[in-house]
Structure 1
Amino acid sequence: MRHRTKTYLLTNEEIEKLFQRAEIGRLGTHSEDGYPYVLPMHFVYYDNKIYMHGLPKGKKIDNIKFNSNVCFEIDEMLSLLYDGVENPCDVNTEFNSIILRGQASLVNNLEEKSIALSKIVEKFTPHLMNKELPINMIKGTAVIKIEIFDYVGRYYK
């Protein structure tokens, strides 16, 4: 790896496009035991917020209740840059990434949950987006919302 890899800032338009096309982000939370906890999550970016869904119990839910300050990371590796490279340490990676900080909360409002879940269906299973979500599924699914405080998008090529 190069010691002085230059990364460049993505434009707001490029960040918006990466939010839309990325399928998995990594949610970073704080555990009561003092250790960070990071897990991959499907997500949707909607109304300048990140929405995720999952089971209503578990470590991520416990951590958000303990400390709602979170980070979220999205990346895409486009290629390895090794043409003309003779030293393995000089190989680099073409990538795009976003790192954000925010506050996570569990969405309790049924209308907001329904909208978020519909946006997730639209993104991941668009062929099912005209199907009505059963109210018991909406009620039984945890929807996590991240209010974004700040973010940075970077690329290298």
Structure 2
Amino acid sequence: MFREMRRKKQILSEKECVEILEKGTAGVLALLGDNDYPYAVPISYVYYNSKLFFHGAKSGHKIDAIKKCSKASFCVIDQDHIVPEEYTTYFRSVIAFGKIHIMEDETEMKNAIERLAVKYYPTDTETNRNTAINREWKPLCMIELDIEHLSGKEAIELAKTKQ
């Protein structure tokens, strides 16, 4: 169903892919947009239990695209070190593929937004976090991407350092 990576020596393990998703702070969500043009939007996220969670407004291009087609991909770049003298970059990145939907269960939404809040402000108090969440609850839309396939790749120069 999903393509095999051509450059096998550069494949990241599932563990490495998950580590990148756990530490990353933003990525690019790719959806099928208006008139079937790809719609790719930079967005913050949290990874938990083979799923990615996003938040946003209840209307707009992203929401329309999700309602139109449940297939999505999400890319996180972990490293992109430019090496001018080699005319290349030493990169490391992950792409997640899966089904995306707008969350409706309030308990699940609350758990997802709390995980997102803790990721971006881990030292905040529970009281402050709950106040912020409650203030934005009514206009909040939570989105879940259930990962079906995870693919990670790094520059051959980085792969060689592991051997």
- Bin the TM-score by the shorter chain: 0.7 to 0.9
**Aligned residue for 1:128?**
124
Contact 1:110–1:139, Cα closer than 8 Å, also in 2? no
Q: Which amino acid aligns with 1:93?
A: T
Alpha-carbon distance, 1:7 to partner: 6.3
**Aligned residue for 2:49?**
47
Q: Which amino acid aligns with 1:31?
A: G
1:141 aligns with 2:137: no
Contact 1:73–1:99, Cα closer than 8 Å, also in 2? yes
1:27 aligns with 2:24: no
Q: 1:81 aligns with which of 64, 75, 83?
A: 83
SS of the aligned residue for 2:126 comes to coil
Q: Which amino acid aligns with 2:104?
A: N
1:70 aligns with 2:84: no
Change (3 A) 1:94 1:109: same
**Aligned residue for 2:94?**
98
Give the TM-score taking structure 1 as reference length. Answer: 0.85
Q: Which amino acid aligns with 2:73?
A: C
Runs of 5+ unmatched residues, structure 2: 1-6, 159-163
Aligned partners of 1:101, 1:6: CA distance in 2, in Å? Answer: 19
Q: 1:115 aligns with which of 111, 114, 118?
A: 111
Aligned partners of 1:37, 1:111: CA distance in 2, in Å? Answer: 29
Contact 2:14–2:150, Cα closer than 8 Å, also in 1? no
Aligned partners of 1:144, 1:8: CA distance in 2, in Å? Answer: 31
**Aligned residue for 2:153?**
154
Give the TM-score taking structure 2 as reference length. Answer: 0.82
**Aligned residue for 1:14?**
16
Change (3 A) 1:56 1:129: farther
